[in-house]
Amino acid sequence: MAKLNQIIAVEKGVKSKSHQELTASHHDLQKPVLLSGLSRTYQPKDEEGEQLPPESTRVQIKAEDVLRTTAVTLTRLFDVTATKDWANCEARADVTVDGRALVREVPVSYLLFLEKQLVDLHTFIRKLPVLDASESWNLDPSSDAWKTEPVRTIRTKKVPRNHVKAEATEKHPAQVDVYYEDVPVGYWTTVKFSGALPARRVNELLERVEKLQNAVKFAREEANSAEVTDQRVGDAVLGYLLGP
């Protein structure tokens, strides 16, 4: 008895082969020359007339034969696909993480859905914002956000100063340069807040997603290893469609 994964493996080939053969048959039936035959003989008016050989062209394709061949080709495809789809309705497996069945008796179609969703979730979590590692963060209950310790910095103001290069004399005014000096005038106390996540939290979430991804793959493999019952629906369907 075949297994579901074996049926899935051959289905693509059967589908491709049947498509090629059906396409070829369709094209052949569109060529009147292949469907046409001819037989003709020549008889002169009298015995002294010119004798010409008979001419004949055989019919190369018969539509009924093509219908029978097409029925055989499609019957294989219909049966393989039916066997897979019937089995998919019954094939199930548990999704187990760390020895615990997270979800029980999951059908193959839902396992495939889970696989795709987990790929998207993995991308989503990998792009989550992470707290700046150069800062020291603590969770602040009042704001429900992460914050740093207060940092005090000096605020300065530039104040002009005079530098006398030469004293004034009776003949010349004093020579004075103006320069600016940074003078402390106050203090800034800064606390940074952030709604990002600690790197540890993001890594934990990624680990969970990856564990579940592996569990779903194992479950799908287990479900696909279930034995299948061959379905025979092609004869009924194609017999009705293309039969005499």
Decide: 115 and 213 in contact? Cβ < 8 Å.
Answer: yes
Average pLDDT of span 105-130: 95
**Per-residue confidence band for 172, with pLDDT thresholds at 50, 70 and 90:** confident
Residues contacting 224, CB < 8 A, separation 6+: 3, 4, 5, 8, 91, 108
Burial of residue 86 (CB within 10 Å: 0-12, 13-18, 19+) is middle
DSSP characters over 144-178: TEEEEPPEEEEEEEEEEEEEEEE---SSS--EEEE
d(CA 145, CA 62): 79
**CA 191 to each of CA 141, 144, 154, 219: distance values in angstroms, whole numbers, following the listed order:** 15, 14, 15, 49
Residue 126: band (very low, low, confident or very high) from pLDDT cuts 50, 70, 90: very high
Torsion angle of the four alpha carbons 211, 217, 221, 224, in this order, in degrees rounded to the nearest 10: 130
- Report how far Cα 23 is from the mean position of its chain's Cα atoms: 30
Q: What is the pTM of this model?
A: 0.69
Confidence at residue 203, expressed as pLDDT on a 0 to 100 scale: 97
Amino acid at 58: R
pLDDT of residue 24: 93
User: Is residue 2 very low, low, confident or very high in pLDDT (cuts 50, 70, 90)?
Assistant: confident
Q: Is-contact 163 179, C-beta < 8 A?
A: yes
- Within 10 Å of residue 20's Cβ, how many Cβ atoms? 11
Name the residue among 82, 67, 80, 81 with its Cα closest to residue 21.
67
Per residue in 191-241, pLDDT (tens digit) is: 999 999 999 999 999 999 999 999 999 999 999 998 898 999 999 999 999
Report the percent of the chain where pLDDT is more than 70: 100
